[in-house]
Amino acid sequence: MSRWKPGKLGWTVITIAALAAMLGGAFIYGVRNHGLAMLDWADRTLGGTGGMRQVVDAQPYGPLPAQTLDVFVPDTPGPHPLLVWVPGGGWHSGTAGEYHFIGRNFARLGYVTVLAGYRLVPDGIYPRMLEDSAAAVRFALGHADEWGADPQRLFLMGQSAGAYNVVMLGLERQWLGRAGVPEGAVKGVIGLSGPYDFHPFTSDSARAAFGHAPDPAATQPINHVRVDAPPMLLLTGNRDTTVKPRNSLVLAKALTGVGRPTQAVVIAGLNHEDTVKLLARPFSRDRRELDAVLAFLTQHGAPPSAAVKDGRD
C-alpha cells in the first residue's frame, strides 16, 4: 500500500494551518492571562476605530487621581442616549482606560459612552466607591450637551464590582442625591455578574472593601429594594463561580416582590469573565448578552442607532 506524501503545496497548507493554530492559542492564552489590556488590543485590532471617536481622555471629575473618565461618542449626529460604564475588579483593580473596547463598541451602536473610574481599595473602601460613581454620573449629566448626549436618556452599566456600584446607585437614593443628580434621572441600570447579596463577607476583596462598615447590612443592594427603583437588567452566567448567579436571582425576585417586576437573565455556558469578553470584538459573535442589553435599552427608550452583525459593523 502506498503512503501519501504531501507535496510542496501540501506542506505549505500544513504550515499555515499550524501557524494559525499556534497564533490562535497564543491569543486565547494572552486574553486569559494578560486580561483587559490584551482584550482591548484585540478589539481595537479587529474592529478598528471607525464609526466613533474618543472625545475625552482621563478627564478629572474630582480632585483625586482615580476620579477620571473617558468618553466615546458616535460619528453620527446626536443627541444620543447617555451610557455610563463603571468598571469591575473587586473594588481593588479596574480603571476606565482598560475598558476602551466598551466605549468603542457602544459608541458605534449610537450611545455616548462614559467610562468612569473611581477610588480603589485601600482608598476606595465603602462608601467611597459609591460616592465617586455618583459624582461621575453628575459630571456626565453636566457635560452631556457638549458630547452630543441626551441627559433625559441616562443609563448606568457595570460588571462585577462595577455592577454593585451602579445597582446601589439605582436602589439607594442617597448617593445620587448627595451628588446632585435629580430624582428619576436614571432611566435604567444594567448589572453584569454583580454581587448584590454577599454578606457575610467571605472573599478577601469584599472584606477589604466592606469589612469596616459599622452596619454591614446597609452595604447590600438586596436591602434597598424599592418599587420606584429604575428598571434593571440583571445578567449573569450559569458558570460564574466568582459571583454566583443567585445574587442576580434573589435581587430580581426581591424587586418583583415589591412591585418592580424584574427578571434575571442567566446565560448558559458563561463564567464571570465572559460577561466582559462578549462585549469585545474577538468574542462578540456570541450575541446573547449584547442582544439582551440592547433589548433592554430599546424597551426603555434608548434603541441603538446602528446594527452590529456577526461581531462586525
User: What is the Cα Rg of the chain in Å?
Assistant: 21
Tell whether 10 is covered by a domain: no
First to last CA, the chain: 52
**C-alpha–C-alpha distance, residues 231 and 155, integer Å:** 10
**C-alpha–C-alpha distance, residues 97 and 70, integer Å:** 7
Its pTM surpasses 0.85: yes
313, pLDDT greater than 60: no
How buried is 27 (Cβ within 10 angstroms: 0-12 exposed, 13-18 middle, 19+ buried)?
middle
Name the residue type at position 90. G
Are 72 and 54 contacting, i.e. CB atoms less than 8 angstroms apart?
Answer: yes
**C-alpha–C-alpha distance, residues 304 and 66, integer Å:** 30
312: its cell numbers: 462586525
Confidence of residue 9 (pLDDT cuts 50, 70, 90): low
**C-alpha–C-alpha distance, residues 38 and 58, integer Å:** 20
Whichever domain contains 250, its CATH number is: 3.40.50.1820
Average pLDDT over residues 152-177: 98
Tell whether 2 is covered by a domain: no
**Coil/strand/helix, residue 209:** helix
Tell whether 8 is covered by a domain: no
28, pLDDT greater than 70: no
**C-alpha–C-alpha distance, residues 198 and 221, integer Å:** 9
289, pLDDT greater than 50: yes
**C-alpha–C-alpha distance, residues 178 and 165, integer Å:** 15
Q: What mean pLDDT, rounded, does the chain reach?
A: 91
Q: In what order do the strands lie in the sheet with 68-74?
A: 52-60, 68-74, 112-116, 80-86, 149-159, 186-192, 232-237, 264-267
Residues 6+ away with beta carbon under 8 Å from 43: 100, 101, 104, 105, 280, 281, 282
**C-alpha–C-alpha distance, residues 124 and 162, integer Å:** 13
Tell whether 234 is covered by a domain: yes
Compute φ and ψ for 229, nearest 5 degrees. Answer: -65, 155
Are 247 and 266 contacting, i.e. CB atoms less than 8 angstroms apart?
Answer: no
Domain range enclosing 185: 49-299
- Give the chain's domain count: 1
pLDDT at 307: 66
Tell whether 43 is covered by a domain: no
Tell whether 165 is covered by a domain: yes
pLDDT at 6: 63
pLDDT at 48: 87
Tally of residues, the chain? 313
Q: Which residue has the higher pLDDT, 311 or 200?
A: 200
**C-alpha–C-alpha distance, residues 192 and 271, integer Å:** 11
Are 158 and 176 contacting, i.e. CB atoms less than 8 angstroms apart?
Answer: no
Tell whether 6 is covered by a domain: no
Tell whether 36 is covered by a domain: no
Average pLDDT over residues 250-260: 98
Range in 38-42, 236-240, 251-255 the model is least confident about: 38-42
